[in-house]
Amino acid sequence: MLRFALRRLAVALLVALTVMTLSFLLTRLSGDLAISIAGAGATPEDVAIIRRAYGLDRPLVAQFLDWAGRAAVGDFGDSYFFKARVSTLIAERMPVTLTLGLTGLAIALAVSIPLGILAAVREASWVDRLVQLVAMVGQAMPSFWLGLILMITFGLRLGWLPISGTGSWEHYVMPGVVLAFSAIPALTRLTRSGMIQALGSDYIRTARAKGLSRLSILGKHALRNAAIPVVSIAAVQLGFMLGGSIVIETVFALHGVGFLAWESISKNDFPVVQAVVLVLALIYIALTMAADLLNGLLDPRLRAA
């Protein structure tokens, strides 16, 4: 298991280094940062002063090494627009994004796993077809459109839930449902296919022959093996939720990291944009690695792969 974990760690570090390089280069390819910071009406002298003040007159490699070295210890520099430490801004906003992402994942798992099991048990029936139809609709529905529909229906007309802010758990219900709706189709299909394959295995037939209860066969034996791909995709979906929360946070006015990214992009606040991309990517990498390790525990055969 230790060798398996070390291999996954080495891959994660390489991916993290690649993300750091790309996030740095993409901001530089977007144009002259000094001109963007100075504004459209700045004189060449103003641009030159800003270029020297922010170290943008140095070679690109030197800029990257300096930024990467500081980022490695959690120092992402200062925000051009907010006039504060970037690490402080992200730390203040991250709890909102994490709460939103975990809420969305919890709702997605609570809905998709029972639906997948039900569809597998009733394979080729009207129940199975209905579950697949729901998954297809969820896959095709734009998240921002669903968010607006929920706001109009449950926030404005019925008045059951608040439509913006982060004051209580109720503020996360509608955004969590919207995030979950995008993950439910993939999780449902994986659970269904995994359960169908597991229920057709020899060990399930042996369990039935021993007289085990239907609930024990489904929960203890079939679901454990069907859960391996679900664990992996759940970690990936949580990473997608955290990284893609910019749309949902903007629609529901949740001041998380996604909303911070939107504000920073609109204000040309490149240090914040770079840091947000890197932090969310590192979280995604960590989640993927955690899923690999958990799968290794669930299925020892994966450790030798």
Each residue of 150-180: pLDDT tens digit? 888 888 888 888 887 777 788 888 888 888 8
Judge whether 108 and 212 are in contact, CB under 8 Å.
no
Average pLDDT (99-119) is 86
Least confident of 42-46, 266-270, 278-282: 42-46
Give the pLDDT confidence score for residue 136 in this predicted structure: 80
- Asked if the model's pLDDT at residue 47 lies above 80, the reply is no
How many CB atoms within 10 Å of residue 305? 8
Most confident segment among 6-10, 71-75, 185-189, 226-230: 185-189
Judge whether 115 and 131 are in contact, CB under 8 Å.
yes
Judge whether 217 and 207 are in contact, CB under 8 Å.
yes
- Asked if the model's pLDDT at residue 126 lies above 60, the reply is yes
pTM: 0.74
Give the pLDDT confidence score for residue 304 in this predicted structure: 57
Express the helix, strand and coil content of the chain in percent, nearest 5 each: 80, 0, 20
Cα distance between residue 130 and residue 120, in whole Å:
12
Residue 105's H or E segment, with its range, is helix 86-121
Give the pLDDT confidence score for residue 32 in this predicted structure: 64
- Asked if the model's pLDDT at residue 42 lies above 70, the reply is no
Higher pLDDT, 193 or 4: 193
Give the pLDDT confidence score for residue 80 in this predicted structure: 76
Cα distance between residue 258 and residue 249, in whole Å:
6
Q: What is the pLDDT of residues 59-87, one digit of tens each?
A: 778 888 888 888 888 788 778 777 788 88
Average pLDDT (170-197) is 83
Split at pLDDT 50, 70, 90, the class of 40 is low
- Asked if the model's pLDDT at residue 243 lies above 60, the reply is yes
Higher pLDDT, 247 or 279: 279
Give the pLDDT confidence score for residue 213 in this predicted structure: 66
Cα distance between residue 93 and residue 256, in whole Å:
4
Split at pLDDT 50, 70, 90, the class of 303 is low
- Asked if the model's pLDDT at residue 280 lies above 80, the reply is yes
Chain-wide mean pLDDT for the chain?
Answer: 78
Give the pLDDT confidence score for residue 26 in this predicted structure: 76
Q: What is the pLDDT of residues 139-149, one digit of tens each?
A: 777 777 888 88
Nearest to 154 by CA among 246, 253, 255, 252: 252
Average pLDDT (200-219) is 70
Split at pLDDT 50, 70, 90, the class of 121 is confident
How many CB atoms within 10 Å of residue 280? 24
Q: Which domains does the chain have, with CATH numbers?
A: 2-71 (no CATH), 91-304 (1.10.3720.10)
Give the pLDDT confidence score for residue 305 in this predicted structure: 56
Judge whether 57 and 51 are in contact, CB under 8 Å.
yes
Split at pLDDT 50, 70, 90, the class of 100 is confident
Nearest to 235 by CA among 297, 183, 189: 183
- Asked if the model's pLDDT at residue 229 lies above 80, the reply is no
- Looking at residue 159, the DSSP 8-state letter turns out to be -
